[in-house]
């Protein structure tokens, strides 16, 4: 990147990012969102441009890509590609999840790592941003196959991670089972019980209480704050959630506990509409225990529940929509339909689930509050940071205490987003608030640490 292309114009930088990172549209999208509100901030603080803070921010500090061979139960050999991107360590060790999904590419992991930098900054905790993953498909694989894959992956990854260096956790396709296998192999190879190397561990062996629930619960705590800002609450609200995984299941659990009526849920096979309210025990049995498809929900539930094969849940009328499945799962057409059907609040549980055009529809609609994932889904990584804190002090907190701290953290993020938005002439704009606040915290630390 030549000095002449830089300065205080985010559009010029965005074009550089696109040119230098071909074939990575999700990464471009994530960068575009962060850069959009930064023009006036850069003009007001010329020291950022002088120190080329933005140019450094969009370039990962390091990227490791490696082969992961493994043997399935039938004796056949498979070769997967895994990677870990250390995006920014200004605020602490790289921190972020690992995703196992056949669609994973370096561009996906870079977009997730970039988002993570600002999300982690918003938590106010001492964590930098990173992400990793592999194009491994855990669907239909036995526990033994998943174990062998995790062990093979860790046989390379172990040399790049550690409590003060890089701390992976779960993301889509990676949860307690995988973290257990990954940690076991890490412990065996290194001969150390460095618990703070991975988060999302079992609560019986170093894992934080509430980590499993944290992203979904945190999302709903954030929604509660958004509603409170309009003198509203969740009681009696109609909610639709996409996905039926870690984030969505615990978002539904907390929304129901706070009195909401959740009537829609989905997975990659299609969407369920249950006007009587989602039976979460049934969803948990199908998705968490049996690792099955939601298609079975309607049959087993009876009543008025229906399943729409291959559909998203965005045609189900609701007041609150919580996209919790995957990136770009909600487009402008879906957004328009939601608005037409009366949605008044959209908060992202997944990372970047709304397309740019969908976000524009929500932001242009009267009376619709929209929160970007880097603010509203930060509860998971916040409790991961609590786990690191407990591991470092060889301490363990109760469920109640951890949940209390999660609620406080989500309240602080909400307040920071609103305050920052207001200070920068973006009243009520959570996107501008989150991106400016996250940027300022990281950028100030980078300035203080010199050109590194
Ligand atoms: P899971 O793998 O547990 O669940 C993902 C769910 O989304 C599954 O039900 C899956 O369907 C569904 N899904 C995936 N792709 C699609 C698709 N293309 N269309 C429709 N449904 C789809 O993942 P998580 O719940 O952990 O993560 C979900 C999102 O939240 C991701 O964007 C992740 O990055 C983000 N996130 C996760 C955090 C965490 O702590 N786990 C923290 C913060 C954000 P199926 O069951 O059929 O595979
Ligand atoms: O996207 C995310 O914030 C996560 N997948 C959680 C990361 C973490 O380190 O807990």
- C-alpha closest to that of 98 among 157, 43, 47: 157
What CATH number has the domain bearing residue 280? 3.40.50.720
Rounded average pLDDT over 161-172: 98
Asked if 225 and 348 sit in the same domain, the reply is yes
The domain boundary, picked from 350, 367, 384, lies at: 367
Model confidence at 1, pLDDT cuts 50, 70, 90, reads very low
Tell me the HSE value of 3 on the side-chain side, using a 13 A CA sphere. Answer: 2
Q: Is the pLDDT of residue 278 over 90?
A: yes
Active-site residue, 333 included: no
Rounded average pLDDT over 177-202: 98
Q: Is the pLDDT of residue 116 over 80?
A: yes
Rounded average pLDDT over 401-430: 98
In a domain, 388, yes or no: no
**Ligand that lies nearest to the alpha carbon of residue 351, given by its number in the listed order:** 1
Rounded average pLDDT over 175-183: 98
Asked if 73 and 49 sit in the same domain, the reply is no
Using most ligand atoms within 8 A of CB, pick from 92, 93, 94, 96 the residue to mutate for ligand 2.
96
Asked if 278 and 155 sit in the same domain, the reply is no
Q: Is the pLDDT of residue 4 over 70?
A: no
DSSP letters for 239-296: EEE---SHHHHHHHHHHHHTT-EEEEEEETTEEEE-TT---HHHHHIIIIIS---THH
What pLDDT shows up at residue 390? 98
Q: ∠359-105-165 over CA atoms, to 5°? A: 95
For 119, counting Cβ atoms within 10 Å of its Cβ (0-12 exposed, 13-18 middle, 19+ buried), the class is buried
What CATH number has the domain bearing residue 165? 3.40.50.10860
Asked if 258 and 317 sit in the same domain, the reply is yes
Asked if 186 and 299 sit in the same domain, the reply is no
Asked if 14 and 120 sit in the same domain, the reply is no
Report whether residue 127 contacts ligand 2, using a CB cutoff of 6 Å: no
Q: How far is the CA of 74 from the centre of ligand 2 (A)?
A: 33
**Ligand that lies nearest to the alpha carbon of residue 377, given by its number in the listed order:** 1
Asked if 94 and 117 sit in the same domain, the reply is yes
Q: Which atom of ligand 1 is nearest to the CA of 101?
A: 2
Rounded average pLDDT over 208-237: 98
Q: Whose CA is nearest to atom 31 of ligand 1?
A: 350
Report whether residue 324 contacts ligand 2, using a CB cutoff of 6 Å: no
Q: Is the pLDDT of residue 215 over 60?
A: yes
Find tokens 């114009």 and name the residue: 9
Asked if 258 and 362 sit in the same domain, the reply is yes
Report whether residue 327 contacts ligand 2, using a CB cutoff of 6 Å: no
Asked if 45 and 81 sit in the same domain, the reply is no
Model confidence at 6, pLDDT cuts 50, 70, 90, reads low
CA distance 409 to 5: 38
CA distance 144 to 275: 39
In a domain, 415, yes or no: no
Answer whether 70's CB lies under 8 Å from 80's CB: yes
The conformation of residue 208, written as its DSSP 8-state character, comes to P
In a domain, 133, yes or no: yes
Does an H or E element contain 96, and which?
strand 94-100
- The per-residue pLDDT for range 282-329, each reduced to its tens digit, is 999 999 999 999 999 999 999 999 999 999 999 999 999 999 999 999
Asked if 273 and 153 sit in the same domain, the reply is no
What pLDDT shows up at residue 413? 99
What pLDDT shows up at residue 3? 46
What pLDDT shows up at residue 10? 87
Rounded average pLDDT over 8-27: 94
In a domain, 387, yes or no: no
**130 phi, psi to nearest 5 deg:** -155, 170
Using most ligand atoms within 8 A of CB, pick from 245, 290, 296 the residue to mutate for ligand 1.
245
Helix, strand or coil, per DSSP, at residue 218:
helix
Asked if 70 and 34 sit in the same domain, the reply is no
Using most ligand atoms within 8 A of CB, pick from 104, 215, 353, 390 the residue to mutate for ligand 2.
215
What CATH number has the domain bearing residue 49? 1.10.285.10
Q: Whose CA is nearest to atom 39 of ligand 1?
A: 171
CA distance 409 to 386: 11
Where in the sequence is the domain holding 442, given as residue range(s)?
A: 1-59+428-452
Q: How far is the CA of 350 from the centre of ligand 2 (A)?
A: 10
**Ligand that lies nearest to the alpha carbon of residue 113, given by its number in the listed order:** 2
pTM score over 0.95: yes
Does an H or E element contain 213, and which?
helix 211-228
What pLDDT shows up at residue 314? 98
CA distance 348 to 436: 18
Q: Is the pLDDT of residue 67 over 90?
A: yes
Rounded average pLDDT over 22-26: 98
Retrieve residue 31's tokens: 């960068």
Retrieve residue 10's tokens: 């985010």
Asked if 2 and 85 sit in the same domain, the reply is no
What pLDDT shows up at residue 9? 83
What pLDDT shows up at residue 274? 98
Report whether residue 274 contacts ligand 2, using a CB cutoff of 6 Å: no
Number of structural domains the chain divides into: 3
Beta strands 320-322 and 306-309 are unpaired
Q: Which of the residues 95, 110, 119, 131 is marked catalytic?
A: 131
Site residues for ligand 1, CB cut-off 6 Å: 97, 170-173, 215, 243-248, 266-269, 287, 324-326, 329, 349-351, 377, 380
In a domain, 145, yes or no: yes
Mean pLDDT across the chain: 97
Model confidence at 8, pLDDT cuts 50, 70, 90, reads low
Q: ∠119-440-52 over CA atoms, to 5°? A: 110
Rounded average pLDDT over 250-256: 99
CA distance 128 to 165: 10
For 452, counting Cβ atoms within 10 Å of its Cβ (0-12 exposed, 13-18 middle, 19+ buried), the class is exposed
In a domain, 284, yes or no: yes
Answer whether 129's CB lies under 8 Å from 113's CB: yes
- The per-residue pLDDT for range 358-386, each reduced to its tens digit, is 999 999 999 999 999 999 999 999 999 99
Question: How far does the chain reach from its first CA to its final CA, in angstroms?
Answer: 16
Report whether residue 380 contacts ligand 2, using a CB cutoff of 6 Å: yes
In a domain, 201, yes or no: no
How far does CA 283 lie from the centroid of its chain?
21
Long-range contact set of residues 258-262: C-beta below 8 Å, sequence gap at least 24: 258/220, 258/224, 258/233, 258/234, 259/233, 259/234, 259/235, 260/234, 260/235, 260/236, 260/320, 261/236, 261/237
Report whether residue 379 contacts ligand 2, using a CB cutoff of 6 Å: no
Q: How far is the CA of 30 from the centre of ligand 2 (A)?
A: 16
In a domain, 441, yes or no: yes
The conformation of residue 337, written as its DSSP 8-state character, comes to H
CA distance 425 to 44: 14
- Angle, to 10 degrees, between the axis of helix 25-35 and the axis of helix 356-364? 30
């Amino acid at each position: 990147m030549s000095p002449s292309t830089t300065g205080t114009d985010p559009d010029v930088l965005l074009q550089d990012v696109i040119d230098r990172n071909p074939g990575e549209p999700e990464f471009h999208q994530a960068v575009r969102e962060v850069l959009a509100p930064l023009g006036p901030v850069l003009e007001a603080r010329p020291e950022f441009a002088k120190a080329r803070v933005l140019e450094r921010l969009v370039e990962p500090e390091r990227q490791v890509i490696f082969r992961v061979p493994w043997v399935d139960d039938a004796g056949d050999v498979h070769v997967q590609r895994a990677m870990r991107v250390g995006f920014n360590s200004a605020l602490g060790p790289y921190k972020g999840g690992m995703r196992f999904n056949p669609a994973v590419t370096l561009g996906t992991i870079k977009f997730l790592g970039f988002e993570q930098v600002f999300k982690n900054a918003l938590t106010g905790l001492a964590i930098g941003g990173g992400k990793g993953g592999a194009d491994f498909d855990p669907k239909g694989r036995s526990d033994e196959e998943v174990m062998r894959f995790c062990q093979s992956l860790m046989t390379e990854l172990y040399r790049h991670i550690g409590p003060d260096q890089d701390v992976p956790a779960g993301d889509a396709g990676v949860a307690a089972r995988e973290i257990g296998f990954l940690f076991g192999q890490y412990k065996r190879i290194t001969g150390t019980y460095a618990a703070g190397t991975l988060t999302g561990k079992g609560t019986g062996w170093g894992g934080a209480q509430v980590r499993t629930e944290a992203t979904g619960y945190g999302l709903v705590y954030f929604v509660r704050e958004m509603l409170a800002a309009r003198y509203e609450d969740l009681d009696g609200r109609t909610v639709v959630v996409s996905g039926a995984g870690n984030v969505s299941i615990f978002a539904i659990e907390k929304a129901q506990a706070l009195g909401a009526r959740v009537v829609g849920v989905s997975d990659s096979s299609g969407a369920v509409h249950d006007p009587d309210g989602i039976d979460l025990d049934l969803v948990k049995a199908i998705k968490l225990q049996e690792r099955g498809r939601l298609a079975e929900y309607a049959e087993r539930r009876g009543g008025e529940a229906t399943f729409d094969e291959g559909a998203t849940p965005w045609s189900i009328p609701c007041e609150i929509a919580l996209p919790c499945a995957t990136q770009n799962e909600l487009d402008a057409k879906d957004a328009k339909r939601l608005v037409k059907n009366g949605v008044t609040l959209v908060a992202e549980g997944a990372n970047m689930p709304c397309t740019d055009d969908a976000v524009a529809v929500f932001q242009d609609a009267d009376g619709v509050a929209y929160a970007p994932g880097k603010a509203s889904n930060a509860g998971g990584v916040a409790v991961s940071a609590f786990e690191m804190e407990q591991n470092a002090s060889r301490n363990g907190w109760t469920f109640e205490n951890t949940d209390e701290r999660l609620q406080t953290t989500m309240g602080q993020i909400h307040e920071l987003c609103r305050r920052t938005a207001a200070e920068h002439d973006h009243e009520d704009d959570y996107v501008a608030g989150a991106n400016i606040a996250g940027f300022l915290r990281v950028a100030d630390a980078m300035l203080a640490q010199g050109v590194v």
